[in-house]
Chains A and B, each alone.
Chain A
């Protein structure tokens, strides 16, 4: 077959997939949400106002943005000093601490929820020690968001900081600027694009946060996300859910646009200085204290809830026992709706496997499409934005979109078990594409040209040059997709049926039911999921192409 046609098809595949499983559901949401207003006999602007007021859209938007704003501020407050320490100093066990710092980012929201319930919830560590129970309040949500997102700040800001020539700050000092002025006018100013990019990303993640708010926020903290879920699943008010989804999409789209602009600027401005030049071992007790406080501190803070979670899974009211673990294998309630944890694990594994296959099949040609076309052209820009879009679309909106668009002709997939892995693949796709684009771009054109001049045809060039170089990147992307899929909760929560429940869905089920046994079982299962995701992260860290200094910053 003609090679160009083949290339065309492989490039069209991911775009087609995104068209059907992302753009089409979004279009249906918009149509449904806006139909009562703009359609024939629609009520116009007045109607929109009334509808927005009826759904409490303004209040929800404010609540979503408010908690996201506070979360971002707190995350930066913890993340910036840590970024500095990780960027500028070499210290023992740094690699380990860095890897640990990255774990929360890929942890499923329900695991984090369970961990914080174990830490600051009823019967949790804080309550037993100091009588503190902050679950169902804003602080619990904020804590969990900081927990989640610190690694983003450390990776993005720390990445730029590591490559920022310290002599710039020193030049300022030699020109008469004090420590503070030199930091503000030079260092911070030069870090501003990456700082803004990371803040925006954190804000976006918190804005679309679902699982954490559902588990830790309780009914009093309602955001757009939880309200979409409530309207779609419990109130069955699809038009209201659609309107809120449309609002959510608008805000998320704007944020993603701003983010891609900012990250492009962050990449251009600085001349990179190799990290080996800018790093050194701390000197004197002051610097060691700083490293301990800002490097070790946050890492320990992140590990604490996870440790408490593990401890909580074996701590019963009557003492230490494996009761919660053994009960996972028994149908204690004899309920017909009961999904055995073992069955849920099998579901999860099957969905994740499918999601990996799907996201790689689509992600590899997509990554080639993004890198092959000339940089800066409209097409590349559009392609990059398109593959970034799923990152900004909340999984709740996605799940909701599937419910209203893929459950009726022309596409009736309601009965299909494929819906969940498709959603997972879509959520993982931007991460897969971005983790491949970096290594792909790093293959020098001269390498491929040399191979071609030595007589290799294009297929052989891919096989003999690209594949060996990218093998590790492919495996890392697969591990990434697997981990993401394993922990995906929001879309699954909307699409699941009892017999298709995944581990996160079962954990959420346990968490919402009263009693020590349910809580304990949630923790035991969370530990299993955490371990699985930990393995995934370890695999990603190990498989990271050695040339790329920072795997995650390639991803964002």
Chain B
């Protein structure tokens, strides 16, 4: 049985739906990432689960029991806000021990637990530090220690790294993920950052306009994006329109980048058994960066491209590439050029176009 279950949970604010019939489940010990652009309802989802924002409709069950009448402080859930919500009138240790006090834990045990938690987040020396004297990263760790101290049944993190700069974020992401795994806590991790979500989660749910539109393991989301929205939100590649070639000829997709053999394109079947079928609908095609190569290959389609910019990358050169469409439109994507695989001279930015080759097997049709 799942630990938590959301059944058709809806919530709207002044006519706009922040949550629209959300149904999900979460197993014990699992880390679920809720991913989506800002304003998609992620935070409302957390607040509804926490009990801070009662849903208009639907039920939230914890171990089979409806939570509707359980107030936030009796749910045994922890919530870490984006800007941490640390109490400015208390020092670090008092912040961490707040939840323990509320539980009525005796003083000595409390001190022990606080020490343990500060050790976990590697802030042993800062127990008596005032909240105002903490750096961004330190505040984040104190907030994590405070949330974990009362051993919540569920820990919810709302954009936990959102307030930090990029370098610090990368550094803390690994650490945070290791701590969550180490403690083995059931967690919901809300973020708009795909890298964070994919790195931390066992399972991710993508939200859009109050609805959960796809859930799955991170790898599955990347490999099988169900929709153009998920593909573009996860920045999986360029998305362009594709239609069966006119005259139903030769099983080809006509795209802005030229003809692609339908038999090689993944997911082609979903648009009708036969692409020859003149009634087959046009769809959206995802062109992944790994479909692009800078040298000619068998079965690949030659496409004109312009190199917009090149950035040195630890693994080669990160290239901003504009694929030149026949209609004059360009389709930009980020590709990685590697010495070992691509060989030859690293490409350089240039005003004129050069050829690249697309492997249709690395392209796929999207559902919408």
A189 within 8 A of B: yes
Known: A165-B83, A190-B89, A269-B89. A174 touches B102 (CB 8 A): no
A172 within 8 A of B: yes
Interface string of A167-182 (1 = CB under 8 A from B): 1101111111111011
- Interface positions, chain B 48-95, Cβ under 8 Å from A, are 50, 52, 71-73, 76-79, 81, 83, 85-89
Contacts of B146 in A (CB 8 A): 175
Known: A172-B98, A175-B78. A270 touches B83 (CB 8 A): no
Contacts of B52 in A (CB 8 A): 170, 173-174
Contacts of A171 in B (CB 8 A): 79, 81, 85-87
A373 within 8 A of B: no
CB A474 to nearest CB in B, in angstroms, measures: 36
Question: Is B85 a contact of A170 with CB atoms below 8 Å?
Answer: yes
Contacts of A178 in B (CB 8 A): 71, 73
Interface string of B121-151 (1 = CB under 8 A from A): 0000000000000000000000000110010
CB A88 to nearest CB in B, in angstroms, measures: 14
Partner of A173, one of B14, B73, B150: B73
Q: Among A172, A176, A182, A189, which residue has the most Cβ atoms of chain B within 10 A?
A: A176
Contacts of B86 in A (CB 8 A): 171
**A to B CB contacts below 8 Å, 16 in the list:** A168-B85, A170-B52, A170-B79, A171-B81, A171-B85, A173-B73, A174-B73, A174-B77, A175-B99, A175-B150, A176-B102, A176-B103, A177-B98, A178-B71, A179-B71, A189-B89
Overall SS of chain A's interface: helix
CB A240 to nearest CB in B, in angstroms, measures: 47
Contacts of A175 in B (CB 8 A): 73, 78, 98-99, 102, 146-147, 150
Contacts of B71 in A (CB 8 A): 173, 178-179
* B: interface residue count bin: 20 to 34
Contacts of B77 in A (CB 8 A): 174
Q: CA of A171 to CA of B143 in the docked complex: distance in angstroms?
A: 10
CB A193 to nearest CB in B, in angstroms, measures: 10
CB B155 to nearest CB in A, in angstroms, measures: 10
Considering only CB atoms and an 8 Å cut-off, how many residues of chain A contact the other chain?
22
- Interface positions, chain A 268-285, Cβ under 8 Å from B, are 269-271, 281
Interface string of A150-179 (1 = CB under 8 A from B): 000000000000000101101111111111
Contacts of B14 in A (CB 8 A): 281
Q: CA of A170 to CA of B85 in the docked complex: distance in angstroms?
A: 8
* Closest residue of B by beta carbon distance from A186: B87
Question: Is B99 a contact of A176 with CB atoms below 8 Å?
Answer: yes
Q: CA of A182 to CA of B79 in the docked complex: distance in angstroms?
A: 15
Q: Among A168, A175, A186, A281, which residue has the most Cβ atoms of chain B within 10 A?
A: A175
* Closest residue of B by beta carbon distance from A164: B88
Contacts of A270 in B (CB 8 A): 88
Question: Is B88 a contact of A176 with CB atoms below 8 Å?
Answer: no
Question: Is B72 a contact of A174 with CB atoms below 8 Å?
Answer: yes
Partner of A167, one of B85, B89, B102, B147: B85
Contacts of B79 in A (CB 8 A): 170-171, 174
Question: Is B102 a contact of A181 with CB atoms below 8 Å?
Answer: yes
CB B36 to nearest CB in A, in angstroms, measures: 21
Q: CA of A32 to CA of B3 in the docked complex: distance in angstroms?
A: 81
Contacts of B83 in A (CB 8 A): 165, 167
Question: Is B89 a contact of A174 with CB atoms below 8 Å?
Answer: no
Partner of B81, one of A167, A189, A190: A167
Contacts of B103 in A (CB 8 A): 176
Contacts of A181 in B (CB 8 A): 102
Given A167-B81, A171-B81, 13 extra CB contacts under 8 A: A170-B81, A172-B87, A173-B72, A173-B73, A174-B52, A174-B79, A175-B102, A176-B73, A176-B76, A176-B150, A177-B102, A269-B88, A281-B14
CB A447 to nearest CB in B, in angstroms, measures: 28
* Closest residue of A by beta carbon distance from B75: A174
Q: CA of A189 to CA of B88 in the docked complex: distance in angstroms?
A: 10
